[in-house]
């Protein structure tokens, strides 16, 4: 069904954005993905890179997207938050202005259906599968928590902290986001320039640390850092970088490796089913120009 589907992918969620009428862009905290149809965004099937993006074609593109939405390509293997991000990005009201809106909605529904199958069959009970639950596991002894950031990662962690009755301060630079989240959750909010951290626990969920925040958080009792880059030569008391978080989660690694092997076969079968549909629907995104 998706022979004309193209997917462009970059692990850089900030740099080199794509802006083309023939593409629908989805950005997460880990990656940029753009969808298109070869008939609207001509690109040779042999082309594997475009402006710094990996290019996936047809059913290979479908499989790659399925792996991303299922959390199989996330640093936290099997994490479930990416599925909600995909669903929310491609809600009907957000795509109905697209040239190929109906096709996008069908693609969304099919990906979500297959993601549900993957999660229920292979990922149920596979350790901690959300960044929020991981953060909460490290912060059990901390009543007061300062969360740095207002992006997708921070907003996925926030409900877990609230559910455990933490006293949460949210720090960010987007005042609109701060106001919206303060209406939704029982938290206090501060702009970066207006807050002086103390001895409370700190969760870094933003790649943006302005001014002299590196030194300002030295008095914190505990620091959980979800950024790619690790703070070196610091004087922090208890500092947990992302590399250690992922290492701590290796307790389920043997189980994960077994699941990965089974999943490869299952993904191949799902993709083959889509490819067989092409026998009946020769043009791929058949409703594209309807």
Q: Residue 145's domain spans which residues?
A: 131-249
Model confidence pTM above 0.75: no
| CATH number for the domain harbouring residue 99 | 3.30.460
What pLDDT was estimated at residue 290? Answer: 38
End-to-end Cα separation, the chain, in angstroms: 16
The whole-angstrom distance between residue 286's C-alpha and the CA centroid of its chain comes to 29
The two beta strands, 32-37 and 5-10, are: antiparallel
72 and 14 in a common domain: yes
268 and 179 in a common domain: no
Whether the Cβ atoms of residue 35 and residue 107 lie closer than 8 Å to each other? yes
* Residue among 118, 138, 143, 114 nearest 128 (CA): 138
Whether the Cβ atoms of residue 36 and residue 58 lie closer than 8 Å to each other? no
Specify the higher pLDDT residue, 124 or 175: 175
Query: Measured between alpha carbons, how far is 257 from 273 in angstroms, rounded to an integer?
Result: 25
| CATH number for the domain harbouring residue 177 | 3.40.50.720
Summarised one tens digit per residue, pLDDT across range 158-211 is 998 998 899 999 999 999 999 999 999 999 999 998 898 889 999 999 887 777
Q: For residues 170-192, b (16+ Cβ closer than 10 Å) or e, as one string? A: bbbeeeebbeebeeeeebebeee
Summarised one tens digit per residue, pLDDT across range 31-84 is 899 988 888 888 888 889 988 899 999 989 999 999 999 988 888 788 888 898
143 and 66 in a common domain: no
178 and 153 in a common domain: yes
Query: Measured between alpha carbons, how far is 289 from 138 in angstroms, rounded to an integer?
Result: 51
Specify the higher pLDDT residue, 215 or 239: 239
Whether the Cβ atoms of residue 150 and residue 170 lie closer than 8 Å to each other? yes
């Amino acid at each position: 069904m998706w022979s004309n589907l193209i997917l462009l992918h970059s692990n850089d969620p900030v740099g080199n954005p794509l802006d083309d009428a023939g593409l629908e862009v989805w950005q997460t905290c880990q990656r940029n993905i753009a969808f298109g149809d070869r008939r609207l965004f001509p690109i040779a099937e042999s082309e594997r890179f475009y402006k710094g993006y990996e290019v996936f074609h047809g059913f290979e593109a479908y499989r790659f997207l399925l792996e991303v939405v299922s959390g199989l390509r996330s640093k936290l293997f099997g994490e479930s938050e990416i599925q909600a991000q995909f669903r929310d990005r491609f809600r009907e009201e957000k795509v109905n202005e697209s040239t190929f809106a109906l096709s996008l909605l069908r693609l969304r529904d099919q990906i979500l259906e297959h993601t549900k199958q993957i999660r229920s069959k292979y990922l149920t009970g596979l350790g901690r599968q959300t960044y929020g639950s991981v953060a909460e596991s490290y912060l059990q002894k901390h009543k007061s928590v300062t969360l740095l950031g207002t992006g997708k990662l921070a907003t996925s962690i926030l409900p877990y902290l609230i559910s455990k009755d933490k006293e949460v301060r949210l720090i960010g630079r987007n005042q609109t986001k701060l106001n919206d989240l303060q209406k939704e959750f029982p938290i206090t909010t501060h702009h970066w320039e207006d807050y002086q951290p103390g001895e409370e626990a700190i969760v870094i969920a933003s790649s943006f640390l302005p001014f002299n925040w590196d030194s300002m958080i030295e008095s914190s009792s505990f620091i959980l850092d979800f950024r790619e880059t690790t703070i070196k030569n610091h004087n922090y008391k208890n500092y947990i970088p992302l590399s250690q978080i992922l290492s701590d989660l290796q307790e389920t690694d043997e189980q994960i490796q077994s699941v990965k092997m089974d999943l490869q076969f299952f993904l191949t079968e799902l993709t083959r089913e889509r490819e067989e549909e092409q026998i009946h629907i020769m043009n791929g995104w058949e409703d594209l120009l309807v």
